[in-house]
Structure 1
Amino acid sequence: MEAGKTLKSISIGLGYNPDIQFAPFYVAQSKGYYKDAGLNVTFNHGIVTDLIGTMAAGKNNFVFASGDELLVAHDKDKSLQAIDVSTIFQRYPVSIIVPKDSSIQSLSDLKGHTIGEPGPYGATHTGLLALLQAGKLTESDVKIESIGFNQVSAMLSHKVDAVVGYSNNEPLQLERNGFNVRTFAVSDYFPLVSNGIITTKDTYTNQSQTVHAFVDATIKGLKDVIADPQNAVDLSKSYVPGMNADQALEVLKATIPIYQGNGKLGYNDQATWESTAKLLVAEKMISPVDNLSQLYTNN
């Protein structure tokens, strides 16, 4: 960047507490990629129920949210003009987790079993619905229990037969506890759009240079994370208070395949968007979408 040029201040709502899964953003920040792109980027952390709504209300220029969240937000408020400009998690990171010695060998084997989920909301619930559909099951074929974010203890105490969690989180925690598991990953059965960089149509149209600069710098950070996860963990330490570096590296290594998908970093896949919309319509979470291609871009 030329000396003396002022940086444009922007913010992104990351929708969760500081965490190693946001390493591409932390690396882009600490290596000066945002600055080089003329941007002064603020990360707004914290669990927010309506992240896209906060962006529409002007609290953030960008948010890091999933395709299903965008579809639901758009369905709730048809005047909402928002667009996914880059999907960072190329695979939907949700899995159903069962003990290694469980009799559940396929999705259809879940019939009659108790499945623990945080609650009837968010990515874990959408992922559960997708996996049930893939196993040709309905919610009434299984017993779903809301257990909060206590999947690990619920599994360790055999309170439930299976839990829904994140592929890069709960299975690792369980294995660390000496509890061997098997997983059914959503992305192996059902294409769904996971977390990406979402902005308003207004920002996308009127500040396209800023949007391009932000996405490009983030993807540059993402490439560095994939190339050198250990360095990404070291750089992320200052962003994640009290981080356990060994565990963070383990999580990051499990997240890299989620970032990579089929190798097109940041790509928005038309078929995956269509599949996501189809599932949400089938589950009566949204009404049919007539202008789906307006909700994402690869420009």
Structure 2
Amino acid sequence: MRKITRFVFVSCLLVFSLLLGACGQSAGQGSSASNGGKTLTDVTIGLGYIPDIQFAPFYVAKAKGYYSQAGLNVTFNHGIVTDLVGSMVAGRNTFVFASGDEELTARSKGVQAVDVATIFQRYPVCLIVPADSPIRTLADLKGHSVGVPGPYGATYVGLLALLYHEHLSVNDIHLQSIGFTQVAALLGHKVDAVMGYSNNEPLQLRRQGFPVRTFEVSDYQPLISNGIVTLQTTLRQQPQMVRAFVQATLRGLREVIANPEEALQLSKSYVPGMDLARARDVLQATIPIWRGNGHLGYNDPATWQDTATFMAALKLIPAVPDVSAAYSNQFVS
């Protein structure tokens, strides 16, 4: 396989923020009086995207008082951030909702980040083609145009994973950076295929009467998706706070799975202008991704190893001698 151009997930901010991390600074160490006079610990989580129903487990945990019952005053930091882990190292977040590839990239640069609960049990990215496309297998991708937002993020990693599985490289396809216009690009036949999220773009296309087929990355290459990530210093200094946050979030996740309609209503106040019909579709498509094999929040050692092996094979990170340092299951059970 031809060498694939190295790409960078962690921005230059990380280099500077490492200096802050070396001083042992971490967010969430303050406290505030709330909940009937009970002192709560301030905690922030960077969610890395605009408010959306995909964050319902967090919203429900807050709306139903699970965080406050656990002694936490939780703030959600929304917004598209190019370096989520770096924002945590810089002290702006106690936790971030980051994927395994993001975390391993940060760790390769010296950041001692740890995934304490993987919420998305399946990597929610897929290749999307029109239903009548001649692309019937991954091998058929050769010579075709594929649109991605850019050479970064989960959609790009997902494409690399699909190509890696088929022993192809980006040189075997016509890669096009199309921004976040996957739906319009496929509707307008500007590309032959696009990379998107399993619980997003395929739903939008089908709602517009455009039938599609998908190739789910998790069916071809095991990858660790988004989970609750914090710093090793936080684990060492505040293990009970970490456990409380993880357990309250998993309680919220169980509630969403058991009562999706209630979750929709509770999430409305956190998602301004939420389209209820669209959110319901996204929620129903996301529940199987959260559920996985039924062990909510679990960090699967084999999938972590597969993720590290894949990334090292493509020279995205150096070889990882001991990937078990990147995750922990002690707060899940």
Common fold: TM-score over 0.5: yes
For residues 148 and 166 of structure 2, the distance between their equivalents in structure 1, rounded to whole angstroms, comes to: 17
In structure 1, runs of 5+ residues without a counterpart are none
Provide the rounded CA distance (Å) in 1 between the counterparts of 2:39 and 2:309: 45
Secondary structure in structure 1 of the residue aligned to 2:88: helix
Q: Distance in 2 between matches of 1:227 and 1:191?
A: 27
CA distance in 2 between partners of 1:297 and 1:253 (Å): 28
What does 1:150-229 align with in structure 2 at a 5 Å threshold? 150-229=181-260
Q: Cα distance 1:165–1:295, how it changes in 2: closer, same or farther (>3 A)?
A: same
Does the 8 Å CA contact 2:106/2:113 hold for their aligned counterparts?
no
* 2:249 partner SS: helix
**Aligned position for 2:282:** 251
Q: Which residue in the other structure is 1:85 paired with?
A: 116
Counterpart position of 2:263: 232
Aligned residues: 297
Which residue pairs with 1:26 in the alignment?
A: 59
Q: CA deviation at 1:205?
A: 1.2
Q: Which residue of 2 aligns with 1:137?
A: 168
Where does residue 95 of structure 2 map in the other structure? 62
Question: How far 1:138 moved relative to its partner?
Answer: 1.5
CA distance in 1, matches of 2:180, 2:167: 26
Q: CA RMSD for the aligned pairs?
A: 1.2
Q: Which amino acid aligns with 1:183?
A: T
- CA distance in 2 between partners of 1:97 and 1:54 (Å): 32
Look up the match of 2:49.
16
Matched residue, 1:277: 308
The amino acid that maps onto 1:126 is V
d(CA) in 2 for partners of 1:37 and 1:188? 37
Q: Hey, what's the Cα distance between the residues in 2 that align with 1:67 and 1:284?
A: 16
AA of the residue aligned to 1:73: A
Q: Is this contact kept in 1: 2:35–2:68, CA < 8 A?
A: no
Counterparts of 1:46-125 in structure 2, within 5 Å, are 46-75=79-108, 77-78=109-110, 80-125=111-156
Shift of 1:3: 5.9
The amino acid of 1:275's aligned partner reads D
Distance 1:259 1:98 in 2: 24
> Residues 18-77 of structure 1, C-alpha deviation per residue, up to 9 Å, x if partnerless?
0110000000000000011010000000111111011011111000000000011111x2
**Distance change (3 Å), C-alpha of 1:287 and 1:165:** same
- Deviation sequence 1:91-135 (CA, Å, 0-9, x none): 000000000011111111111111001000000000000011122
Given residue 228 of structure 1, which amino acid in structure 2 is its aligned partner? N
State the TM-score, normalized to the length of structure 1.
0.97
Calculate percent identity across the aligned residue pairs. Answer: 64
Query: What residue identity is the alignment partner of 2:175?
Result: I
Q: Which amino acid aligns with 2:157?
A: T
Matched, 1:39 2:72: yes
Distance (Å, rounded) in 2 between the aligned partners of 1:28 and 1:98: 37
**How far 1:139 moved relative to its partner?**
1.3
The one-letter code matched in structure 1 to 2:61 is: A
How far apart in 2 are the matches of 1:163 and 1:13? Answer: 27
Give, as a single letter, the amino acid of the residue that structure 1 aligns with 2:270: Y
How far is 1:136 from its partner?
2.5
Separation of aligned partners in 1, 2:136 and 2:160: 18
Give the SS at the match of 2:176: strand
Please state whether the residue corresponding to 1:6 is helix, strand or coil.
Answer: strand
Q: CA deviation at 1:4?
A: 3.9
Gaps of 5+ in 2: 1-33
- Superposed structure 1 runs of 4+ greater than 6 Å apart: none
AA aligned opposite 1:55: M
Greater mean alpha carbon deviation, residues 136-145 or residues 87-96: 136-145
